[in-house]
């Protein structure tokens, strides 16, 4: 806890109360709309007033909106954005980038992290906005090492941002923010026995918000950003330039002339303070490790009307057609229920001594008997039903139109929900499916912005949280877990890295695509199939895939020495260059063959034009077919070769690069890495 004078603490507390009241007033309409949207999409689609008015009458809920919401949310779950750190230039240690990205993958693939981001996205789709947060905590009760965690905020209405002071779409420039929570009276007194609240009398903050109720209390977490001025210096030792915050440690070198100050200037540095506040005052406070407020928003469509911000959910514009659908279906049910039972009509005396006719509209009798009655010398016909009344076609059409209106307002049509349409080709089906994704891409785009902001927060926290020598858990590109040892201040130069967000399919989907693509390519070249067998095996989703991949690696290494290990087998640099030159010549020859193939295609097109002429005879058509078949065979052979040549070129060049990098790393060894799985 940071030591603050009583006078300063009172001043800060009053500022917190005023700012909270201002934000609550400014966002009251947004929050009311969100409550109505969330309630409509999850709890009840009929208002309390209408339910009271229709008491005893059907109030059905035929929820077609929920399918559209799940479609958007589950599409996000299948394609979660991922974070990568990328250095500004190639001078950075590649091992450091690999370790940093491994730590990020470990944080992002934690189940709590995935749940937090998915919940915030779901909240944005249903109510217009959602949030998740970043916290730091000790990894154990007896440890001084901390780790970084991504946590969910289950109630989006508990977060308050001053939207009128924010310009950035990810809220990274927010000067302050609140998280409001509610705990029981017993829990409050247990956690804060020395709080300044003297009694549990109700103390109101504004007209609608109370700090204290009869059995509970509200607590605020308050983040406040401030700027501190500092001087930065650009120094050089004659070879390398460096920017530092202080030159005290370089004074001797500066006096000796080995280090020179090239430039200096005034700048500012962000500082974030965290406070926990109740109605009685400040309960706790400390300085946050990073320079960003660690609350990440995911929003719906953002619209500004005359200076007022609106956050529009997927639910917002679909509520009216959904209400109409519920009303018309309820009316249809009510009309059917109120219609009289269709009676049987018969001559007088036909039903005597046959009581089963009285329950014919209620029970399924195996047979119905009647008395034959003569009328005018002829037998009266058997009893018969009159025609049913039926339902008004206007109601049926209104139900159909309401269902179509829901699709129109959400942008999710039948094809996106899996229904079959008139499309026959895979491309047409995918195009119709993408219409729904495109119509609601603003939700995905907001999630990408949130992920990028999360990456900025992590990048800022790395050198402050992982500042001592320790063991870190990381995940590789193949999602296998490893542990690495890092020295003190290993991530100190992370300001030279940038955040890159990948929005492609998840790792499991990528594995399936890899297997499908390589299997297709292998049909064109037996050699290519042999060289990629281990890669296909390790991406198979079957038991024993890794053992099969190791077996394929041994086979490939035995048949093609150095391909997997990267060892050159003692070849000199001149020999490698000679092989590369020969392969490049072969590639040039194949390109020339490709030109010949294109000329053949031109001939084929000319013959096709002649074949379309009504005066062309049958012999020309036969000749055309033969030439086209021969050209297709030649084309397949030619197209198969560049892939082999390209693969071989890359392999040889990789051997050469490996030798050069090996010499560099021997001079400056990177941090050791140990595979938990004994790889």
pLDDT score of 426: 54
- What tokens does 170 get? 């990810």
Contact 170, 452 (CB under 8 A): yes
Phi-psi region of 192 (alpha: psi -120 to 50; beta: other; left: phi over 0): beta
Which residue is associated with the tokens 């499991």? 508
Q: For position 206, what pLDDT does the model report?
A: 43
Q: Which pLDDT belongs to residue 647?
A: 55
Average pLDDT in the 405-418 region? 78
pLDDT band at 567 (very low <50, low <70, confident <90, very high): low
- CB neighbour list of residue 526: distance below 8 Å, 6 or more residues apart: none
Residue 339 has pLDDT above 80, yes or no: no
Phi, psi of 499 (to 5 degrees): -100, 130
pLDDT tier, 428 (very low <50, low <70, confident <90, very high otherwise): low
Which is higher by pLDDT, 41 or 433? 41
Per-residue confidence band for 347, with pLDDT thresholds at 50, 70 and 90: confident
535: three-class secondary structure by DSSP: helix
Question: Residue 416 — pLDDT band, cuts 50, 70, 90?
Answer: low
The pLDDT score that the predictor gives to residue 623 is 58
Confidence of residue 496 (pLDDT cuts 50, 70, 90): confident
pLDDT at 74 over 70: yes
Most confident of 65-69, 347-351, 371-375: 65-69
Instruction: Check residue 207 and give its pLDDT.
Output: 43
Mean pLDDT score of the chain: 80
Q: What is the CA radius of gyration of the chain?
A: 37
Residue bearing the bigger pLDDT, 213 or 81: 81
pLDDT of 20 above 90: yes
More confident residue, 238 or 639: 238
Q: What tens digit of pLDDT does each residue of 174-205 get?
A: 999 999 999 888 888 888 887 755 455 554 44
Residue 191: per-residue pLDDT: 85
For the segment 127-175, what is each residue's pLDDT rounded down to a tens digit? Answer: 999 999 999 999 888 888 999 999 999 999 999 999 999 999 999 999 9
The helix (H) or strand (E) run that includes residue 87 is strand 82-87
Residue 63 clears pLDDT 80, i.e. is over it: yes
The pLDDT value recorded for residue 249 is: 83
Res 452: pLDDT: 95
pLDDT tops 60 at residue 117: yes
Calculate mean pLDDT across residues 247-252. Answer: 85
Instruction: Dump pLDDT digits (tens) for 652-671.
Output: 555 556 555 555 555 555 55
* Residue 258 reports pLDDT greater than 70: yes
Q: What is the pLDDT of residues 638-647, one digit of tens each?
A: 555 555 455 5
Look at residue 62 and tell me whether its pLDDT is greater than 60: yes
Reported as type and span, the H/E element at residue 674 is strand 673-675
φ, ψ of residue 557 to 5 degrees: the values are -65, -35
Question: Would you say 645 and 586 are in contact if contact means Cβ atoms under 8 Å apart?
Answer: yes
pLDDT given at position 3: 82
Confidence check: pLDDT of 252 > 70: yes
Residue, of 620 and 553, whose pLDDT is higher: 553
In the prediction, which pLDDT does 679 show?
39
- Kindly give, in sequence order, each residue whose CB lies less than 8 Å from that of residue 367, ignoring residues fewer than 6 positions away: none
Q: What is the pLDDT of residue 586?
A: 65
422's tokens? 């008139």
Question: In the predicted model, what is the mean pLDDT of residues 290-315?
Answer: 93
State the average pLDDT over residues 539-545: 67
pLDDT of residue 417: 60
Domain ranges of the chain: 6-193+201-314, 317-342+389-432, 507-669
Q: What is the DSSP letter of 174?
A: -
Q: What is the mean pLDDT of residues 424-429?
A: 54
Q: For residue 675, what pLDDT is reported?
A: 45
Q: How many CA atoms lie within 13 A of 175 on its CB side?
A: 11
% pLDDT > 70, the chain:
71
| pLDDT value at residue 205 | 44
Residue 118: partners with Cβ closer than 8 Å, 6 or more residues away: 73, 76, 77, 80
SS3 193: coil
Q: CA-CA distances (angstroms) from residue 472 to 1, 70, 94?
A: 28, 37, 17
Query: Taking a C-beta distance cutoff of 8 angstroms, is the pair 405, 324 a contact?
Result: yes
DSSP conformation letters of 554-583? HHHHHHSTTTTT---TT--HHHHHHHHHHH
Dump pLDDT digits (tens) for 572-614.
Answer: 566 556 666 666 676 677 677 667 667 667 766 766 666 566 5
The torsion angles phi and psi of 516, rounded to 5 degrees, stand at -65, -45
> Mean pLDDT lowest for which of 28-37, 92-101, 558-567?
558-567
pTM, to two decimals: 0.69
Residues 6+ apart with CB under 8 A from 617: none
pLDDT of 330 above 80: yes
Would you say 76 and 447 are in contact if contact means Cβ atoms under 8 Å apart? yes
Tokens of 658: 């490996």
Percent of the chain with pLDDT over 90: 35
Name the pLDDT band for 676 (thresholds 50, 70, 90).
Answer: very low
The predicted model gives 322-351 an average pLDDT of 85
- pLDDT the model gives residue 110: 83
């Amino acid at each position: 806890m940071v030591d603050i004078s009583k006078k300063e603490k009172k001043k800060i507390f009053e500022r917190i109360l005023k700012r909270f009241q201002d934000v609550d007033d400014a966002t009251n309409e947004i929050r009311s709309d969100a409550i109505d949207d969330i309630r409509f999409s999850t709890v009840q689609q009929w208002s309390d007033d209408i339910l009271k008015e229709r008491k005893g009458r059907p109030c059905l809920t035929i929820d077609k909106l929920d399918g559209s919401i799940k479609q958007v949310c589950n599409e996000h779950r299948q394609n979660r954005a991922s974070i990568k750190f990328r250095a500004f230039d190639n001078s950075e240690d590649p091992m450091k980038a690999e370790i940093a990205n491994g730590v990020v993958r470990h944080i992002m693939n934690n189940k709590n992290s995935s749940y937090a981001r998915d919940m915030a996205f779901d909240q944005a789709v249903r109510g217009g906005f959602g949030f998740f947060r970043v916290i730091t905590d000790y990894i154990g009760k007896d440890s001084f090492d901390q780790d970084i965690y991504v946590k969910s905020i289950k109630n989006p209405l508990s977060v308050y941002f001053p939207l009128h002071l924010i310009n950035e779409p990810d809220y990274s420039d927010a000067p302050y923010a609140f998280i409001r929570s509610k705990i029981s009276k017993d829990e409050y007194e247990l956690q804060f026995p020395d709080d300044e609240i003297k009694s549990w009398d109700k103390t109101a903050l504004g007209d609608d918000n109370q700090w204290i109720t009869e059995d509970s209390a509200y607590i605020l977490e308050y983040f406040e950003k401030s700027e501190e001025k500092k001087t930065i210096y650009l120094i050089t030792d004659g070879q390398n330039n460096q920017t530092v915050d202080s030159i005290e440690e370089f004074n001797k070198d500066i006096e000796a002339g080995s280090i020179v100050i090239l430039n200096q200037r005034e700048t500012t540095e962000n500082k974030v303070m965290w406070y926990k506040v109740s109605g009685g005052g400040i309960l706790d406070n400390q300085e946050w490790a990073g320079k960003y407020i660690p609350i990440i928003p995911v929003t719906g469509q953002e619209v500004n009307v005359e200076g007022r911000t609106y956050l529009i959910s997927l639910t917002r514009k679909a509520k009216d057609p959904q209400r109409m659908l519920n009303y018309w279906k309820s009316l249809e049910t009510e009309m059917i229920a109120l219609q009289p039972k269709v009676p049987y009509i018969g001559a007088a005396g036909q039903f005597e001594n046959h009581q089963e006719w009285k329950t014919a509209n209620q029970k399924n009798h195996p047979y119905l008997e009647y008395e034959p009655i003569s009328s005018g010398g002829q037998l009266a016909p058997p009893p018969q039903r009159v025609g049913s009344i039926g339902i008004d076609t206007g109601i049926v059409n209104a139900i159909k139109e309401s269902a179509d209106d829901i699709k129109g307002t959400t942008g999710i049509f039948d094809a996106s929900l899996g229904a079959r349409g008139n499309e026959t080709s895979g491309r047409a089906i995918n195009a119709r499916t993408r219409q729904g994704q495109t119509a609601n891409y603003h939700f995905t785009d907001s999630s990408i912005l949130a992920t990028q902001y999360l990456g900025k927060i992590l990048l800022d926290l790395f050198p402050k949280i992982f500042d001592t020598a320790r063991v870190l858990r990381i995940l590789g590109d193949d999602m296998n877990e490893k542990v690495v040892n890092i020295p003190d201040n290993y991530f100190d130069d992370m300001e030279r890295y940038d955040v890159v967000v990948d929005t492609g399919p998840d790792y499991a989907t990528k594995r399936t695509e890899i297997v499908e693509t390589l299997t297709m390519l292998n049909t064109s070249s037996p050699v290519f199939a042999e060289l990629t067998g281990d890669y296909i095996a390790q991406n198979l989703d079957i038991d024993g895939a890794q053992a099969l991949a190791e077996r394929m690696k041994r086979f490939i290494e035995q048949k093609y020495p150095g391909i997997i290990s990267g060892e050159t087998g003692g070849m000199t640099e001149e020999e490698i260059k000679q092989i590369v030159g020969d392969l490049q010549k072969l590639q040039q020859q194949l390109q020339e063959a490709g030109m010949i193939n294109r000329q053949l295609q031109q001939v084929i097109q000319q013959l096709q034009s002649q074949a379309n002429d009504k005066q062309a005879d049958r012999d020309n058509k036969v000749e055309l077919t033969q030439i086209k078949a021969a050209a297709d065979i030649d084309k397949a052979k030619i197209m198969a070769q560049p892939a082999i040549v390209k693969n071989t070129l890359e392999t040889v060049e990789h051997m050469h690069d490996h030798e050069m990098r090996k010499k560099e790393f021997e001079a400056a060894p990177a941090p050791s890495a140990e595979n938990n799985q004994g790889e």
